[in-house]
Amino acid sequence: MILKNSLLWAWLCILVCLSFSSRAVDCTTDTVGLCTPTIEQIIEETSIETIEFQADGILTTTETTTTTTTTTVSNQDSGDLLDGTNDYVTTKYEGDMDIDWGGQGPASMPSGNSCGQLGTDKCAMITGGGSSTSTMGVENMGTTFIQTVNISDLNISKGGRTNYTIKVEKQDAQDSIYMHITGKNGATDVFSGTDILSASGTNSGFQSYEGGFDFSGSITTVIIEVGGRDINLAIGPMFDDVTVNVLYNVINTIVEQTITSVEMFVAYNIDAPEEVIDIVEDIFDSNIPVETDVGLDFEPIEIEEVSYESVEIEIAEIEIEEIQVVNVDLAETETVEVSMVDVETEMELEMDLEMEVEDTVEAQPEVQEEPETTTEAPNETESEETNEESVEEVKEESSEKETEIAESKEETNEQEIQEEEKKDEEVKTVDKKESSKEKAAKKILKKIDDKKRYDSTSQLKTLVVMQVLGNTKSFFEDQQQLNDRLGFFTDTTLPDSFISDNNIAGYLLFGGSDFLMNEMIDSQWQQK
């Protein structure tokens, strides 16, 4: 395929991929704990350069595709899981310890001054002095408070950390209290952590504790267990205001793509004469640039050979197509016209017959009237019978005449219609041949490029089309040369054939004018 005056030669010059990263993201599924909040931006650029050699210069088009990938790492907070307003737990399992969560061993829920510095509302007290292993695997416990929280709606998949806070009042140094949290993904344990808040032998009194446990991957449930031991069975360890928050990693990736195209045109030689530019354009129009080992070369474009036979065949093919289309349209039109003619003919015959019958009936009584006689009085019965017989005879004669007239008119109309149809067919046939041939010739001439309309090939094709339309194939045969007529030119000169120049008049006419012109030019140069 050849693209004229535009893309003559193109290839892929440069394919460049560039990547730019503002910061490296190190947060993956296997990351334990919280990732550092980060924004990573990767920019990839792919450039394709296309070169087009044109008649008047070189057009370079650079198309750059920029793909920007932005990755954002953030730490999301679930909020307090033990706050009933967050819809993770009901009132019974809130961290204000107004109600017993349930668990292992004996416990109590004191209030007022019994809770010490925990407040006067209510608090939880560990009263079990036993030494066994808890449900979550913690040893040396006597009492536990335990519950399971479903956090599957958070869709945690990139790891994170579980943080807690708790207030403890331990009046007996021999007692102990711990905080335990287990994270699960379905039925699989993801992490399990235990913090000893106040061990046996430590005189801690009132304290606020906080801590947490890191995890990786996905978690769907969190199990919270607070337990301990009352050694002296007097006043056991008490706790209140428990909070548990889950902080988890979230990674968002946004991909944006933009495409830009830049064109740069470099002219070969803008100062070159127009004739040189025309020659260069003709070279590019008639040849295909081809890259070789030694440089750029040209291969000539195949030119269609024009002959009388080739043009005649092309016109015939187009003419056949046009005639087929016209015949289909004429067939539909002729069917409608014939039906209309039949209807109009029938209506005219009926109207003529009605008018003739009316004229006959109106004129008949005047012919049948007889003058009255004075000699004999006619019989009324006989006169009536005579009148009836005459009327019937008149009706029969008029009907016979009407039939004959109708038949003659039908025959005449049929002959006229047949003759008109024959004439129309002949005229239509001639018109079809002429119009289809002319249309075919016009289509061939329209295919000629405007820029090449006046070159030798196009002129030859136009001339051949004209000869085909004129059916003068003999135009291209060897033509007879005209012979010179002997004696047409003679050596005889005409008298007074030489006219001498009037030198004086020439001097006055041209010399004076030249002098005045020089004075006028000199006067203009002197003006400032």
Higher pLDDT, 382 or 230: 230
What's CA 62's distance to the chain center, in Å?
24
Q: Tell me, yes or no, whether 238 and 338 share the same domain.
A: no
Contact 60, 50 (CB under 8 A): yes
Q: Tell me, yes or no, whether 245 and 115 share the same domain.
A: yes
The verdict on residue 519 lying in a domain is no
Contact 35, 27 (CB under 8 A): yes
**Structure-block tokens of residue 143:** 């009492």
Contact 218, 185 (CB under 8 A): yes
Contact 34, 245 (CB under 8 A): no
Q: Tell me, yes or no, whether 102 and 222 share the same domain.
A: yes
Confidence label for 516 from pLDDT (cuts 50, 70 and 90): confident
For residue 153, the enclosing domain spans: 78-252
The verdict on residue 260 lying in a domain is no
The verdict on residue 485 lying in a domain is no
Q: Number of folded domains in the chain? A: 2
Contact 170, 237 (CB under 8 A): yes
Using the 3D structure, point to which of 199, 221, 252 is the last residue of a domain: 252
Can you tell me the distance from the alpha carbon of 124 to that of 240, in angstroms, rounded to the nearest whole number?
Answer: 6
Can you tell me the distance from the alpha carbon of 432 to that of 326, in angstroms, rounded to the nearest whole number?
Answer: 8
Contact 517, 511 (CB under 8 A): no
The helix (H) or strand (E) run that includes residue 438 is helix 380-446
Q: Tell me, yes or no, whether 204 and 333 share the same domain.
A: no
The verdict on residue 214 lying in a domain is yes
Higher pLDDT, 425 or 157: 157
Q: Tell me, yes or no, whether 236 and 96 share the same domain.
A: yes
The DSSP string of 320-385 is: HHHHHHHHHHHHHHHHHHHHHHHHHHHHHHHHHHHHHHHHHHHHHHHHH-----SS-PPPHHHHHH
**Structure-block tokens of residue 102:** 């349930």
Higher pLDDT, 465 or 147: 147
Q: Tell me, yes or no, whether 329 and 213 share the same domain.
A: no
What's the pLDDT at 163? 97
Instruction: Using DSSP, state whether 372 is helix, strand or coil.
Output: coil
Contact 233, 127 (CB under 8 A): yes
Length of the chain: 528
Question: What separation in angstroms does the CA of 64 have from each of 15, 17, 19, 365?
Answer: 10, 10, 13, 108
Q: Tell me, yes or no, whether 115 and 245 share the same domain.
A: yes
The verdict on residue 131 lying in a domain is yes
Angle formed at CA 439 by CA 435 and CA 443, multiple of 5 degrees: 175
Digit-coded pLDDT (tens) for 189-198: 999 999 999 9
Instruction: Using DSSP, state whether 449 is helix, strand or coil.
Output: coil
| pLDDT reading at 505 higher than 90 | no
The verdict on residue 304 lying in a domain is no
The verdict on residue 36 lying in a domain is no
Contact 17, 44 (CB under 8 A): yes
Q: Tell me, yes or no, whether 243 and 146 share the same domain.
A: yes
Can you tell me the distance from the alpha carbon of 44 to that of 21, in angstroms, rounded to the nearest whole number?
Answer: 9
Q: Tell me, yes or no, whether 326 and 205 share the same domain.
A: no
**Structure-block tokens of residue 257:** 């793509």
Digit-coded pLDDT (tens) for 332-386: 665 555 555 555 555 655 565 556 555 554 544 444 444 444 444 444 444 445 5
- Return the CATH number at 197: 2.60.120.260
Sequence letter at residue 167 = K
The verdict on residue 518 lying in a domain is no
Q: Tell me, yes or no, whether 235 and 344 share the same domain.
A: no
Instruction: Using DSSP, state whether 176 is helix, strand or coil.
Output: strand
What's the pLDDT at 145? 97
Q: Tell me, yes or no, whether 242 and 346 share the same domain.
A: no
**Structure-block tokens of residue 103:** 């668990």
Using the 3D structure, point to which of 210, 225, 252 is the last residue of a domain: 252
* Beta-strand pair 57-80/205-215: unpaired
Higher pLDDT, 361 or 403: 403
Q: Tell me, yes or no, whether 216 and 336 share the same domain.
A: no
Using the 3D structure, point to which of 213, 232, 252 is the last residue of a domain: 252
Helix 308-368 vs helix 456-470: angle between axes, to the nearest 10 degrees?
30
pTM across the whole model: 0.47
